[in-house]
Amino acid sequence: MAYQLNDRIKNLTPYKPIEGDFKIRLDANESFLTLPEDLQTKVQNAVSAAKLNRYPDPYATRVIKAFSELYGVDKNMVTAGNGSDELIQLIIGTFFDDKDELVTLSDDFSMYRIYAETYGVPVSVFPKNKNLEVNIDALIDYINKSGAKGVIFSNPCNPTSLVIDERHIKRLVRSINALVIVDEAYMDFADEPVLDNVKDYDNLIVLKTCSKALGLAAIRLGFAVASRQITKALRAVKSPYNVNAITQAIGEAVLTDGEYCLDCIRKIIRSRDMLYNDITKLYIKYDEIEKVYETTTNFVFVKTPKAKYIFDELLKRSIAVRYMGDYLRISAGSKKENAEFIEAFEDILKGIED
Ligand SMILES: *Cc1c(COP(=O)(O)O)cnc(C)c1O
């Protein structure tokens, strides 16, 4: 054989979302909202004006300006990425080498560990407690003892939906000689951001995405906010034209409409509160639901020993949610989608009890 894949990648398999057409998709934490007509027109005009024969702006200047104004951050501390996934991959792949340990938490977003393994970065896993909460003092101790080069986690957390207080995160940043990467993909639905604090610390990176609250998962647009030193390095290691012209145009059109963005967030929070309340009612009625976690995101995390069975039964009814071991993760949908999900969920729970 002339060529052998290296050990790190030879057994990897491509990411596989749930396949098939489902009537209701509550499996990927996407937004259920679509653009209103006037904004749709603005987006179409922006796309029409894009010069398709030219390379896009390598620094995504206009969309970064729109993002910076919307979130009140210094535009010189922002790097745009082809989804925040690209930025996670870049940071792990270029800020760490094969001796630099990266600490991840468990349970948390699985891509952190997968990217680290792909790039040969040693990963260690700090466990959460049985309530899926993070003991920050223990984490600080753990990092200081291990001499790790960095730690990455989502806050609020996907999949637990729990949030760590801002003051705890700041204490972590101040207490370790390591890079702290906080993925705030869901912080629009919670109120413990450390985005504002990036200017105070040189060892903090905050990641944001347009895929969740702003309903733009399709265009792949995310941002890393960090010190100028880190930003300079990130901009240098990224591929020059990582954010395409269409994405830049659409991102700018939507991010400059602050009122629309806030309205999306309010509507999604209303939907997830409704979903949480309805699932909690089922929790009171049916023993098979062991726990419903407090939600600070756009989804609800549920513990049940019957997770696999319920997941399969929901699929039969053309409703997709995310199945994870003893848990189900259900994204907030429209009023109608939530209601149909709840009806099917209750029907399945009833069937188990009979
Ligand atoms: C959805 C999600 C992202 C999203 O990333 P994009 O690549 O910007 O779509 C990042 N982090 C977490 C924890 C997520 O759940």
What is the mean pLDDT for each group of 10 consecutive residues in the chain (354 residues)? 88 83 96 97 98 98 98 98 98 97 97 95 97 98 97 98 98 98 98 97 98 98 98 98 98 98 98 98 98 98 98 97 97 98 98 86
At 214 the three-state DSSP class reads coil
Distance (Å, whole) CA 283 – CA 145: 41
Name, in order, each residue with C-beta under 8 angstroms of 98's C-beta and a sequence gap of 6 or more. Answer: 120, 121, 122
Ligand 1 pocket check: which of 91, 182, 183 to mutate, most ligand atoms within 8 Å of Cβ? 183
Nearest CA to ligand 1 atom 4: 84
* Ligand 1 atom at minimum distance from 154 CA: 13
* pLDDT number for residue 250: 98
* pLDDT number for residue 247: 98
* pLDDT number for residue 243: 98
- Expressed in angstroms and rounded, the spacing between residue 4 Cα and the centre of ligand 1 is 32
* pLDDT number for residue 139: 98
* Ligand 1 atom at minimum distance from 217 CA: 9
* pLDDT number for residue 280: 98
- Expressed in angstroms and rounded, the spacing between residue 181 Cα and the centre of ligand 1 is 13
Ligand 1 pocket check: which of 155, 162, 211, 219 to mutate, most ligand atoms within 8 Å of Cβ? 211
* pLDDT number for residue 19: 79
Burial 182-215 (b: 16+ CB within 10 A, else e): bbbbbbbbbebbbbebbeeeebbbbbbbbbbbbb
CA nearest to 15, candidates 101, 81, 85, 108: 85
Distance (Å, whole) CA 52 – CA 290: 53
Ligand 1 pocket check: which of 109, 152, 182 to mutate, most ligand atoms within 8 Å of Cβ? 109
Structure token digits, residue 46: 């922006």
Nearest CA to ligand 1 atom 11: 185
pTM of the prediction? 0.97
Burial 159-179 (b: 16+ CB within 10 A, else e): bbbbbbebebbbebbebbebb
* pLDDT number for residue 18: 79
H-helix or E-strand spanning residue 66: helix 61-71
Q: Which residues line ligand 1 (CB under 6 A)?
A: 29, 83-85, 109, 154, 158, 183, 185, 209, 211-212, 217, 222
* pLDDT number for residue 1: 66
- Expressed in angstroms and rounded, the spacing between residue 200 Cα and the centre of ligand 1 is 25
* Ligand 1 atom at minimum distance from 86 CA: 7
